[in-house]
Amino acid sequence: MVEWTDAERTAIIGLWGKLNIDEIGPQALSRCLIVYPWTQRYFSTFGNLSSPAAIMGNAKVAAHGRTVMGGLERAIKNMDNIKATYAALSVMHSEKLHVDPDNFKLLADCITVCAAMKFGPSGFNADIQEAWQKFLSVVVSALGRQYH
């Protein structure tokens, strides 16, 4: 069971409340596909990913970014039981999507960078970063848990 301090809970929920998930989802996913190009392997049906501009303008990428943030919302709402909440999602990523779980961390890092860009050094200070990254690492771990 993950233990969250009151400070961590406040930081995570506070940050989530200030995020615009329709904005950050597309930003984070397109950043992931640009900065870590091998992640494009999972999106061959998404059309034109041939350049950063193409990726950033791709409607399917944007839609999928919003889907990912919807998934993250479930973790926010079930912070004390992320493992169970994500069990089916983990199975899907393993059995159906065949995603290498090492890539989940890359998307998590891109979400972190987008939050940093938005909130700056005081809105996203070291303590908030610590709490946020702890939350994302629990999410990443839960997503990879059902792989066998």
Partner 1 sequence: MIPVAEDIGSEALLRMFTTFPKTKTYFSHLDISPNSDHLRCHGKKIVQALAEGARNISTLATTLAPLSRFHAYLLRIHPTNFKLLNHCILVTLACHMGDNFTPVAHAAIDKFLSAFSAVLAEKFR
Q: Considering Cα of 3, then 5, then 11, then 13, what sign does the dihedral take?
A: positive
Task: Count CB atoms within 10 A of the CB of residue 23.
Answer: 15
**Candidates 11-19, 68-76, 118-126, 140-148; binding stretch for partner 1 (CB under 8 A):** 118-126
| 24 to 43: interface string for partner 1, x by CB under 8 A | ------xx--xx--------
Is residue 124 near partner 1 by the rule CB under 8 A?
A: yes
Query: Are the C-beta atoms of 65 and 29 separated by less than 8 Å?
Result: yes
Q: Shortest CA distance to 12 belongs to which of 101, 64, 66, 82? A: 82
Considering only 43, 46, 119, 147, the residue that binds partner 1 (CB under 8 A) is 119
Residues that bind partner 1 (CB under 8 A): 30-31, 34-35, 52, 55-56, 109, 112-114, 116-121, 124, 126-127, 129-130, 133
